[in-house]
Structure 1
Amino acid sequence: MKSACYKDKSLLQKTIENVLIGGVDEAGRGSVIGPLIVAGICIGKNGISRLHKLGIRDSKTLTPMARENFFGNIVELANSVCISKFDCHEVDSYVFFNGLNELEATGMAEVINNIHADRIYVDACDINLERYKNSIKKYLWTPKPRIYCLHHADCLNVVVSAASIVAKIIRDNEVERIRKIYHDIGSGYPSDKKTMFFIKKWVTRYKSAPHFARKSWRPLRNLLESESASAY
């Protein structure tokens, strides 16, 4: 896991605003190509009002250009912004041994530890919200904030919506780096025929998976198993 904080003025801002709100979300959970990104932001009351006025909403409902425009606004308004990145080999390791939800919980905790918010809203991937909250809490070393895990939090809470935009922008940039080298890779998701065509050609040619793809994903595992069987 790699993490980075873009800015952190939370401790100074806390003397002005009583409560700082955090939002945490991920991008790339279901992708077969590229990293999983977890993003968290912390913002005060005035900043939240500005997010609403800007029309911030779930990143999946926005065009790439709108996300880019909002990204700058979010970074400017936020007290802190923190990112955790998990490369494909890390995703594979957790999928095979601990489960993807546990990996996300470590990433959520990492950003929560660094954004210094009093209340945190998390877009939960586990059907059991209390179980997911407890998974996150295991990895917290910061003084425990109040954590609220919600399904579809990126649609319900504007701070989580902002975090979803940050996560999506960072992930899109990572995928674009791969695309510049390998070109026609599609969106990176297994539902994309262009992506699966690219991976199938790679596996047929090199008899292995690309280093930027997740071997734990069943579509890729099926291709690898099929290629291995055809060799005999």
Structure 2
Amino acid sequence: MTQESVEKKQKLVQSEQNGWLPPSVKEMKDPFQFASATHHSKIPERIAESPNEPVYLGVDEAGRGPVLGPMVYGIAYCLEKYSKELKKFGFADSKTLKEEKRTELFQIMDQEEHELNVNVGWATRTMTARDISSGMLQPSHGKGSYNLNEQAHDATIQLVREVIQSGVNVKYLYVDTVGPPTTYQAKLQREFPGINVTVAKKADSIYPIVSTASVVAKVTRDMNLQYYVDNLATIDDGRKLGSGYPSDPNTSKWLNGMVDPVFGWNFGLVRFSWQTAKDSLVRNGAVDVIYEHDCVKNDAGYVEIDSFFTEKADKIGRDFYGKSVTL
């Protein structure tokens, strides 16, 4: 880790001392590498004490649409018999809760000895803007685009699999859908044949365990972005990042005011694959860049030499050279 990275890590610790941060943000190893990361809580005591009892697990995400910052997948899990208890704490679709309430809920989940802490486990997968765009912008003649839905599916599968591998007896899986619910449910059911899988629209407002996952994802996403708001002041000319959504005036001003003509933006905070970012580059005079893979010509393949002496030669010439050829 570089000296600069150490100093920025120290700032993160200072931020935590000034106010609570979730472990999914506090324990970022090197924030300015903008590398995607996974964080798991410890296995809750009640689940560890009853390893054979069935467990409910919910999945939701936050930050799918923003042009700045990560998309975070969150999961939460508890014993089946405890799942109904979540309602009494006020868990709901995170978008319907005020920021203070979301933070309060996640904070008490993080407090040792609290009822939620000993009953509910959680995990996050923070997918950075850098990695999201790197996947989506892969050249078509290589692996091809790793689209956002595929990335989301893989993040979900990874988190669920890791919880199962830790010894948790997951028997019911509830997921807020990405894409058509029926197709996604069938995919997850194939991945986890021993689990009862339910994929639904608005699952975060229907199933309390998904509501809990929604809070975990949303707070992690918001506080992750807030960390950069607090620590980019020396290199972003003091502009406010805003929420990261294209409709946010502060985000729009920052995005359009920080364009480098060659590199676009010097931070792994921007989703270059978003149309909003592409439009900003064009609008603000970024130079056209030709990448090496764009120079690779498609090979039309070999043909028999005698084909050049047939009545089809003229057509073959056009196929190869884009114009009529007289042989």
Same fold by TM-score greater than 0.5: yes
Distance 1:7 1:187, change over 3 A: same
Q: Deviations over 1:142-178 (max 9, x none)?
A: 7742221111101111110000000011111110111
**One-letter code of the match for 2:183?**
R
**One-letter code of the match for 1:180?**
D
* SS at 2:42 equivalent: strand
Structure 2: distance between partners of 1:147 and 1:74: 25
Residue 170 of structure 1 is matched in structure 2 by 220
Is structure 2 residue 202 aligned with structure 1 residue 152? yes
User: 111, 129, 134: which one pairs with 2:181?
Assistant: 129
In structure 2, runs of 5+ residues without a counterpart are: 1-35, 111-116, 138-144, 234-239, 289-327
Structure 2: distance between partners of 1:220 and 1:48: 41
User: 282, 306, 317: which one pairs with 1:225?
Assistant: 282
RMSD (Å), alpha carbons:
2.3
Q: Percent identity at matched positions?
A: 25
Structure 1: distance between partners of 2:187 and 2:282: 33
**One-letter code of the match for 1:85?**
T
**One-letter code of the match for 2:181?**
L
User: 141, 146, 154: which one pairs with 1:106?
Assistant: 154
Is structure 2 residue 230 aligned with structure 1 residue 180? yes
**One-letter code of the match for 1:166?**
V
Cα deviation for residue 207 of structure 1 reads 5.5
1:1-232 correspondence to structure 2 within 5 Å: 1-9=36-44, 10-15=47-52, 18-75=53-110, 76-96=117-137, 97-115=145-163, 116=168, 117-126=170-179, 128-136=180-188, 140=191, 144-183=194-233, 184-203=240-259, 208-209=264-265, 210-228=267-285
Which has the higher Rg, Structure 1 or Structure 2?
2
Structure 2: distance between partners of 1:11 and 1:145: 19
* SS at 1:174 equivalent: helix
Distance 1:45 1:219, change over 3 A: same
Q: Is the 8 A contact 1:207 1:224 kept in 2?
A: no
Q: TM-score, normalised by structure 2?
A: 0.63
Q: TM-score, normalised by structure 1?
A: 0.87
* SS at 1:119 equivalent: strand
Cα deviation for residue 224 of structure 1 reads 1.0
* SS at 1:51 equivalent: helix
Q: Is the 8 A contact 2:262 2:287 kept in 1?
A: no
Structure 1: distance between partners of 2:107 and 2:81: 17
Q: Deviations over 1:38-88 (max 9, x none)?
A: 011111134323211112111101111101111134451544211111111
Structure 1: distance between partners of 2:162 and 2:49: 15
Larger RCO, structures 1/2 (Cα 8 Å, 6+ apart): 1
Structure 1: distance between partners of 2:102 and 2:286: 44
Residue 10 of structure 2 is matched in structure 1 by none
More helix as a share of residues: 1
Structure 2: distance between partners of 1:100 and 1:207: 23
Structure 1: distance between partners of 2:251 and 2:262: 16
Structure 1: distance between partners of 2:186 and 2:37: 23
Cα deviation for residue 228 of structure 1 reads 3.9
